[in-house]
A and B are shown apart, each in its own frame.
Chain A
């Protein structure tokens, strides 16, 4: 497979480097026989290193399925998924992941919660005991400062608000310097204002670390604010209906979300998703008909 990939790389002059993540007709089918449900239709998708890709689409369209395949939690039923030029299961890259549910460990304070990946991921796990009170402590402190949690290292999760827990969750996903960050509706359960605050935090993190991010979200404003590229997916079985680069300048601000070009982008995305849902028979009027 590597040879094939290298050939593709040599042939395609458009992309200077091999895609960081590549889906090659990858599909996912749950169940067997008559009860089989195809969650994701054969999908091809290329993501370059350093991109911030948002996946939007109706519920149950396979957005999270794509995320899980990249994170090696699911193997494609057909086709291939390559991460950093290797088939999944064999890739050496470091991945960080954050869900809507912050899943902080209630028996550890925020510092130890954020440190958890360092206990597990090599090379950090070698010498964890020696470094936990020096180097790693500073590393966590720096991250906490970046997300606005300075002074909360000694607190326990239950002493934090939902927004703060989600900030700590982001730190845990980033502490081991991942090459790839997978976010599954991380801000979904937060109120509007906290969410907008965290968008800014997330944007700063991405701009400073230049990592590759895949974000699954229902919130179109969130996708347009954060992403450098948005993929719109159809209803189940999921397909990628539209794939577009977001040209808005960085760093983006909340004020920009009320500007005409941002609103226009939002309306376009919304129309596509309404159309995609229409395919299920739930919404029947075509977009823009009124």
Chain B
């Protein structure tokens, strides 16, 4: 019973904060008499969302599609590179500086290059989403794999375990908490990538829709686009958190123990 109350108190506080934020926003706009060209009220944004939904939906689908495709490719490549770099000291030392170099390039800056290669549209958005989420995954997976206890490695080696045996039975499962932590970061970053690419060079997607809406001063629609993006981002984040908890619950046992 106490546990239920605790959960309610926890969830209640965060729900109240979210609701309070929107109420304060609404009231602030009303009291300060702010024009909806500058900052529309949440109620106006929701009205726009409902009114334009048939037009918003294809853009939402497009953004979700490019983001998820880019994210999936990025995860596969990131996992592969992470395992490769984490498994060998030499690969780690050799490839790390190059990776840091790549990761420090602002990803927005590569969009024009992708457009040059593939033309405006879906492909640059996918590639931007992909490239932006590779790095956090590589770093996390490599860290998880490289930090296997040396004693455990010794135990495995005296069993004459092959590299693949060690990877499959020890290193990979061990790096899963790191991997999922990276996935949660990467999925939000992937949205940044695809939306940026859409704003710069596409005729579809939420980013593009927001550009067009702002050029016609339909500010509630611009904000409606933001709401859609926030909704998508939160949904996917929650999804990966749930998978994470199922797959790597062993790494989060402390919170379970704290409230028995």
User: Hey, which bits of chain A sit against chain B, CB under 8 A?
Assistant: 68, 71-73, 95-99, 101, 103, 105-107, 116-117, 119-121, 156, 158, 172-173, 176, 182
> What is the 8 Å Cβ interface bit string for chain B, positions 217-248, against chain A (1 contact, 0 not)?
00000000000000000000000000000001
Instruction: Give 27 CB contacts A-B under 8 Å.
Output: A68-B154, A71-B157, A72-B157, A73-B154, A73-B157, A95-B159, A97-B155, A98-B155, A99-B155, A103-B149, A103-B151, A103-B155, A105-B169, A105-B170, A105-B174, A107-B174, A107-B250, A119-B165, A120-B156, A120-B159, A120-B160, A120-B161, A120-B165, A156-B250, A158-B253, A173-B155, A182-B158
* B158 near A95: Cβ-Cβ < 8 Å: yes
CB of A106 within 8 A of CB of B160, answer: no
Q: Is the CB of B149 within 8 A of A101?
A: yes
Closest chain A CB from B95 CB (angstroms): 26
Chain A residues whose CB sits within 8 angstroms of the CB of B248 once the complex forms: 107
Using CB atoms, name the residue of chain B closest to A116: B169
**Shortest beta-carbon contacts, A-B, top 8:** A103-B152, A99-B151, A107-B250, A71-B158, A95-B158, A97-B158, A120-B161, A120-B159
B163 CB, min distance to chain A CBs, angstroms: 12
B161 surroundings in chain A (CB, below 8 A): 120
Q: Are B159 and A121 in contact (CB under 8 A)?
A: yes
Closest residue of B by beta carbon distance from A103: B152
- B34 CB–A CB distance under 8 Å: no
Q: Please give, as numbers and ranges, the residues of chain A lying within 8 Å of B152 by CB-CB distance.
A: 103
A117 touches B159 (CB 8 A): yes
* Beta-carbon contact of B159 and A176 below 8 Å: yes
Number of B interface residues in the complex (CB < 8 A):
21
Chain B 169-212 interface mask (CB, 8 Å, partner A; 1/0): 11001101000000000000000000000000000000000000
| Residues in A whose Cβ lies below 8 Å from that of B250 | 106-107, 156, 158
CB distance from A219 to the nearest CB of B (A): 19
B47 on the A face (CB < 8 A):
no
Query: What are the residues of chain A within 8 A of B253 when measuring CB–CB?
Result: 156, 158
What are the residues of chain B within 8 A of A106 when measuring CB–CB?
250-251
| Distance in angstroms between the alpha carbons of A120 and B169 in the assembled complex | 9
A72 → chain B, closest Cβ, in Å? 7
Closest B residue to A106 using CB positions:
B250
Alpha-carbon distance A238/B138, docked complex (angstroms): 43
Cα distance A181–B155 when bound, in Å? 11
Known A-B contacts: A96-B158, A156-B253. Give 15 more (CB < 8 A). A71-B154, A95-B158, A97-B155, A99-B155, A101-B149, A103-B152, A103-B155, A105-B170, A105-B173, A106-B251, A107-B251, A120-B156, A120-B161, A158-B250, A172-B155
* Minimum CB–CB distance for B176 against chain A, Å: 8
Report Cα–Cα, A265/B253, bound state, in Å.
Answer: 47
Q: How far is the CB of A99 from chain B (nearest CB, A)?
A: 4
Which B residue sits closest to A157, measured CB to CB? B250
- Chain A residues in 8 Å Cβ range of B173: 105, 107
Bound CA–CA A173/B151 (angstroms): 13
Q: How far is the CB of B179 from chain A (nearest CB, A)?
A: 13
A-chain residues with CB within 8 Å of residue B159 when the two chains form the complex: 95, 117, 120-121, 176
Contacts of B156 in A (CB 8 A): 120
Closest A residue to B248 by beta carbon equals A107
Q: Chain A: which residue is nearest B155 at the CB level?
A: A97
A71-B170 Cα distance, complex, nearest whole Å: 20
Cα distance, A155 to B165, chains bound together (Å): 24
Docked CA distance A121–B165 (Å): 10
* A84–B248 CA distance with the chains assembled, in angstroms: 42
- Chain B residues, Cβ within 8 Å of A96: 158
Question: Which chain A positions have C-beta within 8 A of B165?
Answer: 119-120
